[in-house]
Amino acid sequence: MKKKKNRFWLFIFSLWPGAGHMYMGFMKMGLSLTLGFMLLIMIVSITGIGAFGVLPFTLYIYSFFHANNIGGLDDESFAAMEDVYLFGLDGIGNRQVKIDQKGKKAVAVVFIVIGLYMLWNVAFEVLRGFLGWENPVLKAVYYIMRDDVPRVVIAIAIIWFGTVLLRGKKGVTEVTDDNRNEQMKQITQKDDANPEEHI
């Protein structure tokens, strides 16, 4: 049976993502949060996309409050907490992780966009070395790529995601309506076949 830990040390350890969970004995949760935090920092560092900086910060805040909320549970609720890997990592050990075709396309698009942005950064550094930073055209292109293009890409991604949600909702509604109609049809056929039940 897991026992609650000292709240002061929990607060100290929770200042590092995942460490607070490990201190309480939730090793899988702690490992997931630590790896996730480090991975997001690595992505920001490698890609050079400043907008991604919000991701590790968000995970940091989540990890801090999640650990302290668990530490504030009553003894019964704390003992009932299960230690599981987060972010779908539980299925990796069981080889149950499956990505459908739409998911694969979405992941592929993300990788392509990140790769193109990284190539642009390299190409820009080469051009700046030849033309110099004082070139007005180069400077204008740089600010467009830095400020405007990411906003456009994010806006398109949000619109696409909203469209996918609408299509999914519509599909669920259509399936529900079809099932309801099929059930009504079966009930009607049953009533027609057994008219004496209504007498």
* 111-153 residue pLDDT tens: 888 888 888 888 888 888 888 878 888 888 888 887 788 778 7
pTM score, whole prediction = 0.53
Residues in the chain: 199
**Does the pLDDT of residue 171 top 60, yes or no?**
no
* Segment 172-190 mean pLDDT: 59
Kindly indicate the confidence band of residue 13, based on its pLDDT and cuts at 50, 70 and 90: very high
State both tokens at 14: 């929770």
**What is the mean predicted confidence (pLDDT) over 77-87?**
86
Give the largest Cα separation in the chain, rounded: 94
pLDDT of residue 84: 87
State the alpha helices, DSSP H only, in 48-148.
54-71, 75-80, 90-93, 101-131, 136-143
Least confident of 98-102, 113-117, 171-175, 190-194: 171-175
Residue identified by tokens 């109609």 is 181
**What pLDDT is stored for residue 145 in this prediction?**
81
DSSP letter for 81, please: -
Confidence band, pLDDT 50/70/90 cuts, at residue 26: very high
**Mean pLDDT of the chain, nearest integer:** 79
